[in-house]
Structure 1
Amino acid sequence: MPCGRELWSVWERWESGEADPHAAACPHCTEALNTLRHLEDVVSAARATEPREQDTDASALVGRVMDVVRLELRPGRTLPLGEEDEDAWIVEAAAARTVRAAAETLPGVRAGSCRIEVRSQDTDTTAPAGRLRRGPVGIRLEVEAPLTWHLQEVAEQVRHRVLEAAETELGMRVTVVDVTITDITEDVEGRRP
């Protein structure tokens, strides 16, 4: 969320009854909790109108629904897009898909784990209260490369493709791309361009 909190964690704290001064004062967290309450009302109303074939535990149904909702809400951290004065964001999972796809445009290269983080050392300003820190990001990407590539060359090519995709497809400012080659494959299709 724009305030820096993960939606699933705000809901989890509320369900556990844990006091959260931030959530009580934050308009983003308040709206998220109101949405959760509405969802619970809808589920309760649906449950009340269903004919009872057997006596079921309502809390079990609500628990199952909330488990599904929580799974859908864990796409990762929120990352900044654009310039400092913009308010554009993307979740890490979506940005990582773009990064992996860019690396995999190279013949025989397969992308694996991808971490994207705002680099504190490249950020001049601190975030105002209730806002996520903005600034350029650093990307750590693991790839498998075919035996036909020179390792330094494939790392440089991956870096180039990732930087290009981050800028043109996402509008994300990237200061560093760390490429780790985790495996060398015997992919015969992995001929260098």
Structure 2
Amino acid sequence: MSDPTHFSPAVQPSDSPAESSDTSSVSDAGSVSDAGSDTAVGSDTASVSTERLADYLDSGRQPYDPLIEDDPACLAQLLALERLRSLSSELVESDVETAPAPDPSWIANVMDRVRLESRTGRDIPLASPDPRSTVHITEGAVRSLVREAGDSVPGAVVVSCGLAGDVGITDAPIRVDVAVSVVYGADVRQVADLVREAVARALARQTEIVVEALDVTVRDVHLGAREAGL
């Protein structure tokens, strides 16, 4: 696995996710279809706005909202927003007086990427004990898995992630690219290494992807983002 740790002055949310051609916004994390059929179990619904997700978090996720909780893509966005808020709260309480002013749109930019990358994407096959059925996990579900693993590293926020290679073929070599933002003052190299290790463990534990390379790029450093209103 390689680890080219780079720097750039700002997040670029307009970049498209790696090789995703699906325009739907909803997918089951794992789906099963009968042999001879490529129709996955699940349904497509409109995306929920970030504002609605923020209001739902403010309410303590009550009353239960099935449009959010029962939709894998929306749930991935909700959990990502919850992690971003938690990080922002920690940063507000820390000593950041000597740091540069934060970009007010930082959280919004990250959420734009989460929304885009939580879409279904390609189907990734999984081994099935029943020859009469095929089992697969969607590319969007794997990207959400990568994001959750990377975000679990203290001081790191996954800005974007993608899978390069023919994920539709069993045992095909896949390159995983992860771009992260690192909290101001953290050891950049250490955070990048920990993100790579966390993502590698998650992929090995929950998927059958053959990871040829796992590249972690440090895109920028960040502070809190109370100015975003989220």
TM-score (norm 2): 0.40
Q: Highest CA radius of gyration, 1 or 2?
A: 1
Greater helix fraction, Structure 1 or Structure 2: 1
Higher relative contact order (CA 8 A, sep 6+): 2
TM-score (norm 1): 0.47
